[in-house]
Structures are given as C-alpha cells and as structure tokens.
Structure 1
C-alpha cells in the first residue's frame, strides 16, 4: 500500500484521539473555564452532531475539488481550531472549535476514504479502508490514554496541542505524495443530483443502515463498560483502563482482519461475523459477573465489531463507484449516527432500571435487527437475480 495511505491514517489517528479524548478531560475543562460538568459535556455532543451533519455536507460541497486540496483544507482547519482551543479562555469559543473540528474531521474522512480506495487496487478497497480506520482504533488504544495522561500532568490544553502536533507530519505527506485528482465523482460528467441518485440504491442504503446498527451496538456497550466492570464484574476502578485497552486492541485486530477478508469474502465476514457478534453480546450479558469471561469477551467483541463494521464501509465504497466521496461521507455519517444513538438507547435501558447488563442486551438487539435486515435484503437480491435469469441456470457470482 502507498506510504501516503499510512500518513492519512496518522491524521485519522489524531482526529480519533480528538473525538474520544474529552471523556477524560471534561472535569478539568469545566473547572478551568468555570462551567458545570454537564455544560462541558456539550463539547462531546457538539462534536458528534458536527460529524453526522458534516460528513455528507462537506463531501457534497467539495465534490469537484482536487483530493489533495480538499485533504489539506480540512486538515489545516482541524489543526488550527485545536490551536485555538488550546489557548482560548472562553467556553463558547471552545464549543465553536469542537463544531468546526468535527466538520473538518468529517470532510477529511470522507475524502480520505475515497482517496484510499482510489490509491488501492480495484479489488483491495477493503484493505485500504482497514489501514485508514486503523488510525481510529489506535486512537482508542493509545491516543485517548495518552491524552488523559497529558491532561493529568500538564493540563487539558496539552492534549489539544498534542493533537495539533501529530497532524503536522500528515500535512507534509499529503503535499508530497497524495495525487491531485478530483475528490468526488467516479464517473465523468456526473452531477450532484446524479451522485445523490446513485446513493439511493437499495443495496447502498441497506449497507449504510447496517453500519449504523452495528456501530450503535458497539458504542452502546463501549460507553457503559466502566460501570459494568465495576458494578457487575467487580474488577474495581483499576480494571477499567485494562478493559478499555483490551477493547481497543480487539478493534485494531478486527479492522486488520476485516481488511484482509473484506475484499475476498465480504458476505462470509458479514454473515459469520455478524452471527458471532450477536452470540457474543448475549453470552457477555449472561456471564458479565465472571472476570475471566468479561476480559475475554471484551477482546472478542471489539475484534468482531470492527471486523464487521470495516467490511460494511468497504462495501459502501464498492457500491458507490459513481460517487466515492459522497459514499464515504454517508458512510461516515452512518457510523456516527450509530455512535450517537447506541449510547442513547443504552442510557434509556439503564434509566428504566434494567441494570448495567442492559446495554449488552441492547447491543445484541441492534445486531439482531441488522442481521434480520441484511438477511431480508439478501433474499430480495437473490430472488431478483433468479427472475432476471429466467429462474434457471447458474447465477453469476456477484462482485464484492
């Protein structure tokens, strides 16, 4: 794979660290800027909202820009708002920087997904996607804990400076090695309406919905792992960082494995991996009181979640050949819809008094819905192909 792809992953690592690191910095930010902790929590909500809205919007606005220019504009904007966030004494300004950072992050990821697919061989989009998303999983493993340490030792502003600093090598690499082709359309002469029509294909819409459901299941449990580990498993507060790190390691392993399999056997990954994911959430819910089972299943579920999730993103890129950047933008939005709604559903279950195992059951339910929808869509596809071939003869093998 081209060196530039790994530098794009470095930028994604910085952006993923920025997205998730606030979970350990909120109390310090609230105290420093003299706001309540719930008010400071709005920084996380603002980023999530910016990602959901910004991914398709930014992809649409820059669809005719050269890829290099689009990546540079988004990454420079991302870097500068982190510098501003690091020096501001105004909570309102910091909140605004989170929105702008999310818009820049969403736009960058949409273009980066299309760029990764274009730089890879035609049948290697899954592997290219996995390398890019590996930056996000490494952010969970290393970036977020490192941001927490920086915040504890030198204050929350140091974490913002670190994110800006890590973005610099990626900027240089983009200038030097990313090709300057169009960011958007994969079909010459395709207008914005044509690209949007391409994104309304049933196969693509179903894949986006499946991505939102699977990611919702992932972040539903991930968000409430700490109270589960302390309140049900009984590992104590010292076990929380270990469990979170194991989940991050599993996510990296899953993205890596998914990248190797998504191009050759995508349906097998989704069917077998999805079934195993459903079973894993259910078994986790039933055995969460056991420390050994919890440690093993955190690693396994992290692996399966990101293997299935990265495969779904690769399938979006295969299905959106006429609109790769818009496809990447909608994939980014779908994943963030899942990341926002999954924890909300888990919170509803907790508020209803079902206990700390409830998010695990919600995760199982979300994956079950995804499997049912995916199975129904596959049945419709097979029936359509049989009708198209007159009901007889061998049906040609579909493209991935």
Structure 2
C-alpha cells in the first residue's frame, strides 16, 4: 500500500481528535460558557454541518490545485480555527470556529478519499478507505479520552491547543511525502456529470444508509459521557469509557478492511440488524455501569464496521465523480453526525439516557430495512 495512505491517516487522526474530543467536553464546556449540555451538543452538529457543506465546496475549490497544496492549505486552515476556538470567550464564537474547522476538515477528507481511489487498485479501495478511517477511530481511542483527561486537569481550552500541536507533524509529513508530491493534478471537473452521479440508485442508496447508520453512531457517542455519568460512572473513568468505544470502533473498521469486500452486501445487512439489537440492549441497560461499558465497546464496533463499509461503497460506486465522489462519502458521514446529536439531544431532554439509545436503535433499524435494496458489487 502506498506510503501516502498512512500519511493521510495521520492527518485524519489529528482532525478526528478534534471532532471526537467534544464528547468528553460537554459538561465542563457547558458549565464554563453557561449553556445546557443539550445546547453544547450543537457544537458537534455545527461541526457536522460544516463538514456537509464543506465537502463539495472545498473539494471543488481544492480541485484547482495539486492534492499536496490543497491538503496542506486545508490543514493550516484547520489549525487556525482551533487557535480561535481556544481563545473564544463566548459559545457562539466557539460555534463559529467549529464550523470553520469543519469546512477545512471536510475538504481535506473529500480530497483524500478521491486521491485514494486514484492510487490503489479497485479491489483494494475498501481496505484503503478502512486505513484512512482507522485514523478517525484511533482518534476515538486516544483523542477523545485524552481530551477529557486534559479538560479535567487543565480546562477544556487546553484540548484545542493540543489539537494545534498534534496537527503540526501531519503538515510536515504531508510536505515530505513523495507519493503525494507525484500525484497528478486532478482532472478538469465536469460538474453536471459529477452531480448526476449522486442520482444513480447504487450511489444514492449507499448515501442514505450511511446517513442513517452514522446518525445512530454519533447520536450515541456525543452523549456517551453524559450517559455514563447518569449511570454512575465517576468523572475520572469517563475517559476510559470513551476509549472503550474507540477500541470497539477501531476493531470494527479493521474487520471491515479485512473482510467486508469479500462478502459485500451481507456485511452491511447483517451488521445493521446486529446494530439495532445492540442499541436496544444498551438502552435497556443504561442504568448499569458494566452495561454502559460493554455497550460502548460493542456499539462502537458494530457501528463503525457498517459505517466504514458504506463509506467505501460510496467511494467505489461513484466512479463517474472523480472529484466529488469523496465529497459524497464525507457528506453522508456527516449528515448523520448533524442529525444524530440533534435528535438525541431532544430525546435526552425528554426521557434521559435510554431515549438517546432508543433513537440510535430506530435509525439503525431503518437502515436494516433498506439494505435488501443494495446490489452486489
């Protein structure tokens, strides 16, 4: 596998750390800025909105340059947004910085996914995408818990400075990577053709399924620290709870990279059905500390296994969109991240922690009902 893949995964890890660390910051951040946890959760939704909007827009903007220049500039923009966030004195300024960071992250991920499809053989696309998404899942293992630990020790602003420092090695690695430097200039975009690709049933269905599965995943993960606190998990153990979810997510993505391409549609179908059962059991056991930890592990594993397979399917199916294909995958991932926390916040305000997990179960069940429409690939 080209060296470019782990280089991109390193940068995605740095950016994923920023996205996932908010799950451990909801309580201290909401207290410091004087907002309710359900309002603070909008930071996750705002980031996801920026990702959805930024994926196609930034991909189009970045298509004017070679991938190296586009990726480096987007990562520098991401760093600048975190400096603003670390210095923010109001919730709304912090919200604006999150949108800016998301725009940069979206463009980076969209271009990275499109680049991967051009440098690996078609039968290795699923594995290459899984390696990239491993950067995201490692962020849930290391970044999320480390962010919570930093917030407990030095305040939530320290986590934003930590992300700034974490991004710098990724910038250097991207500048030094020879494979990325040799990547040709993107082809001239044919916007009408690329947009029309999204209307093809195999692409559109994969996008819809990815939105549903990721809404369930991010809804549960955003409130995981709050769910744990309600169940009786002490503050000192919240980072471990987030790490357990991340370990499960990493195992799920690793399994997808190894086996999903061989079994295709069955991987998504069985995984979505299993995910529905897992979230229902998690809701029923939401008051038990051991059940919360076990549910975090299994829920993360199943959710990311199915989600990663669907992202890879979008990238593989959207062959007529060499520039926007990666943007479609990124947008699908983050449309779910917009809807999930927002709906989960309403459920939490209404019925507490079990409501969040039942919402995840309903969303995953809807995906499971649609999976028979997927065609083999």
1:47 aligns with 2:47: yes
Which of 348, 361, 364 is matched with 1:364 structurally? 361
Deviation track 1:31-90 (CA, whole Å, cap 9, x = no partner) reads 87xx53358766544323211211122122333432112111211211233334445667
Which of 259, 268, 271 is matched with 1:270 structurally? 268
Tell me if the contact between 1:317 and 1:324 (Cα under 8 Å) persists in the aligned partners: no
1:210 maps to 209
Choose 209-218 or 42-51, whichever is displaced more: 42-51
**SS of residue paired to 1:37:** coil
Q: How far apart, CA to CA, are the structure 2 residues paired with 1:30 and 1:348?
A: 17
1:103 maps to 103
Give the unaligned 5+ runs of structure 1. 382-397
Aligned 1:172-211 pairs, distance under 5 A: 172-177=172-177, 178-181=180-183, 184-185=186-187, 191-211=190-210
Tell me if the contact between 2:283 and 2:354 (Cα under 8 Å) persists in the aligned partners: yes
2:60 maps to 60
Choose between structure 1 and 2 for higher RCO, CA contacts under 8 A separated by at least 6 residues.
Answer: 2
Choose 311-320 or 87-96, whichever is displaced more: 87-96
1:6 maps to 6
User: Given the superposition, is the C-alpha separation of residues 135 and 346 from structure 1 closer, same or farther in structure 2, using an over 3 Å criterion?
Assistant: same
Tell me if the contact between 1:62 and 1:184 (Cα under 8 Å) persists in the aligned partners: no
Tell me if the contact between 1:27 and 1:37 (Cα under 8 Å) persists in the aligned partners: no
Aligned length: 373
**SS of residue paired to 1:138:** helix
Deviation of the 1:331 alpha carbon: 1.5
User: Given the superposition, is the C-alpha separation of residues 184 and 301 from structure 1 closer, same or farther in structure 2, using an over 3 Å criterion?
Assistant: farther
User: Given the superposition, is the C-alpha separation of residues 344 and 2 from structure 1 closer, same or farther in structure 2, using an over 3 Å criterion?
Assistant: same
**Structure index of larger Rg:** 1
Choose 67-76 or 300-309, whichever is displaced more: 67-76
Deviation of the 1:128 alpha carbon: 0.9
Q: When the two structures are superposed, what TM-score results if normalisation uses the length of structure 1?
A: 0.83
Which of 263, 284, 299 is matched with 2:282 structurally? 284
**SS of residue paired to 2:261:** coil
Deviation of the 1:166 alpha carbon: 1.7
Deviation of the 1:180 alpha carbon: 4.5
Q: How far apart, CA to CA, are the structure 1 residues paired with 2:228 and 2:141?
A: 18
1:300 maps to 298
User: Given the superposition, is the C-alpha separation of residues 29 and 230 from structure 1 closer, same or farther in structure 2, using an over 3 Å criterion?
Assistant: closer
1:81 aligns with 2:81: yes
Choose 42-51 or 10-19, whichever is displaced more: 42-51
Tell me if the contact between 2:211 and 2:333 (Cα under 8 Å) persists in the aligned partners: yes
Tell me if the contact between 1:214 and 1:367 (Cα under 8 Å) persists in the aligned partners: yes
Q: When the two structures are superposed, what TM-score results if normalisation uses the length of structure 2?
A: 0.88
**SS of residue paired to 1:65:** coil
1:313 maps to 311
Give the unaligned 5+ runs of structure 2. none
Tell me if the contact between 2:44 and 2:222 (Cα under 8 Å) persists in the aligned partners: no
Q: How far apart, CA to CA, are the structure 2 residues paired with 1:44 and 1:24?
A: 12
Q: Tell me the C-alpha RMSD between the 2 structures.
A: 2.8
1:257 aligns with 2:255: yes
Q: How far apart, CA to CA, are the structure 2 residues paired with 1:154 and 1:226?
A: 18
Q: How far apart, CA to CA, are the structure 2 residues paired with 1:90 and 1:349?
A: 26
